[in-house]
Amino acid sequence: MNKIPNSLHASDIAHSMHPYTNMRAHESQGPMIITRGDGVHVYDSEGKEYIEGLAGLWSVAVGFSEQRLVDAATKQMMALPYYHSFAHKAHEPSIRLAEKLVEMSPEGLNRVFFTNSGSEANDTVVKMVWFLNNALGRPEKKKFLARTKGYHGITIASGSLTGLPANHTDFDLPAIPVRHLTCPHHWKWAHDGETEAEFTARLLKEAEDVILEEGPETIAAFIGEPVMGAGGVMTPPEGYWAGITALCEKYDILLVSDEVINGFGRLGTPFGCQKYGFTPDIMVTSKQLTSSYMPLAAILVNDKVYNAIADHTAKLGTFGHGFTGSGHPVACAVGLENLKIIEEKDLMGNAARLAPQFQEGLRKFADHPLVGEVRGVGLIAGLELAKDRATRTSFTPAGKVSAQVAKFAAEEGLICRNVYETVALCPPLIVTSEDIDKILARLGRALDRGWDWVQAEGLV
Name the CATH architecture for the domain at 68-344.
3-Layer(aba) Sandwich (3.40)
With left for phi above 0 and alpha for psi between -120 and 50, is residue 372 left, alpha or beta?
A: alpha
Residues of the chain with CATH 3.40.640.10: 68-344
pLDDT score, position 1: 44
pLDDT score, position 398: 86
- In the chain (460 residues long), the average pLDDT of successive 10-residue segments reads 70 96 95 97 97 98 98 98 97 98 97 98 98 98 98 98 97 98 97 97 98 98 98 97 98 98 98 98 98 98 98 98 97 98 98 98 98 98 97 92 98 97 98 98 98 96
Residues of the chain with CATH 3.90.1150.10: 32-62+346-456
Q: What span, in angstroms and rounded, lies between the C-alpha atoms of 425 and 439?
A: 9
Q: What span, in angstroms and rounded, lies between the C-alpha atoms of 215 and 403?
A: 42
Q: What span, in angstroms and rounded, lies between the C-alpha atoms of 46 and 115?
A: 36
pLDDT score, position 3: 55
Nearest to 388 by CA among 403, 401, 375: 401
Specify which residues 383 forms β-bridges with.
Answer: 374, 423
Q: pTM of the full predicted structure? A: 0.96
Nearest to 380 by CA among 259, 292, 297, 252: 259
The b-or-e profile of 349-368 (16+ CB within 10 A means b, else e) is: ebbbebbeebbebbbebeeb
Neighbouring residues of 347: CB distance < 8 A, sequence distance ≥ 6? 61, 62, 265, 341, 429, 430
Nearest to 323 by CA among 296, 357, 350, 285: 296
What are the phi and psi torsion angles at 57 (to 5°)?
Answer: -125, 70
Check: CB of residue 13 under 8 Å from CB of residue 26.
yes
Where does 32-62+346-456 sit in CATH, by number? 3.90.1150.10
Q: In what order do the strands lie in the sheet with 109-115?
A: 109-115, 297-302, 282-285, 254-258, 219-224, 143-147, 178-181
Neighbouring residues of 173: CB distance < 8 A, sequence distance ≥ 6? 156, 159, 160, 162, 167
DSSP 318: S
Q: Which amino acid does the sequence have at 178?
A: V
Instruction: Give the strand pairing for 380-385 and 371-377.
Output: antiparallel
The b-or-e profile of 20-53 (16+ CB within 10 A means b, else e) is: eeeeeeeeeeebeebeebebbbbbbbeeeebbbb
Nearest to 217 by CA among 282, 142, 281, 145: 142
